[in-house]
Amino acid sequence: MWTDAQRQRLALEHAVLQSEGFTQFSVYRNSSDDTYYANGTTNSSSGRQYRLWIRIPSGYPYARPPMYLTEPFPILAADGSRISGLGISHQMHTLTPSESGYIQICHWRDNRWHSDILLYKVFLKGLLWIEAYEQHLVTRRPLAEFVRTMSEAA
């Protein structure tokens, strides 16, 4: 059950996404089960299309919202293997994948998350991950060479 404060916060999140030029993303309410999520389809700088999906946990904003890359599916590494098979990977900057096999992008770890962080910053990290992923595909170098980890970047 969502509190008024949570619903207001999600309304703010949606409005900030629109006002900050992240109009490809939206917060949505699923009326059938009164859950929330945020998602959208975005293009990388090279023009490839990706879909990012954020589950809004019931403890939001105090609980960290996990962000998944749902399209294209499956996401493959440069060697053709599934990135989701790596699990919590420093090399590829991923956390535990969803049950459906979508990779979870490591934006903030639980130990770094706090409730002042807005969803547009989470999406921004998703966009950076996508750019780093494309660099990985070109160079075959680990994605971690293009984005720092949370423990390195305080």
Partner 1 sequence: MSTSDSQQQTMIREAMKAIAERRPGRTKLVYDKTKRTIVAVAENAQVPRALNITADDADMFAIVTLSTQWLRNEWDRMIRDGILAIRLSAWDQGDAYSQCDLGAQPAPSIVDGAVMFDGSRIPSISPNVRVVLSKESAGDIAAPSTFVAPDGAVYRAQAWRSIDGREELAEVHLADVQPDLAMRRAGLLESKVLKECSVLCIGLGTGGAHAAIELAKCGLGHFFLVDPDRLSVGNVVRHPGGISQVGRLKVNVVRDLILEKNPDAKVSIYSVAATAENEAAIGELIDQVDIVLCGTDNRPSKLLINRLSIEANVVAVYGGAFRRAYGGQILRVRPRRSPCHQCFISAMPEQANDVEISSESAADAIAYSDRPEAVEPGLSLDVLPIANMFTKIALLELLKDRESSLNILQRDFDAPWYLWLNRPEPGTPYATLPPLSESSDEMTINRWYGVYFDRDVGCSACGDFLSVTAAAYGLDATSLKPPPTAVVRG
Query: Which residues in this chain contact partner 1 in the complex, by CB under 8 A?
Result: 5, 7-16, 19-20, 26-32, 36-37, 59, 61-63, 86-91, 109-116, 118, 149-151, 154
CA distances in angstroms from 14 to 4, 42, 149, listed in the order given: 15, 16, 27
Instruction: Give min distance, CB of 6 to partner 1, in A.
Output: 11
Instruction: Give min distance, CB of 149 to partner 1, in A.
Output: 8
- Using CB atoms within 10 Å of the CB of residue 138, give its burial: 0 to 12 exposed, 13 to 18 middle, 19+ buried: exposed
Judge whether 33 and 18 are in contact, CB under 8 Å.
no
Distance CA 44, CA 95 (A): 21
Nearer to partner 1, 44 or 96 (CB): 96
Nearer to partner 1, 7 or 48 (CB): 7
Judge whether 29 and 54 are in contact, CB under 8 Å.
no
Instruction: Give min distance, CB of 141 to partner 1, in A.
Output: 15
Nearer to partner 1, 91 or 135 (CB): 91
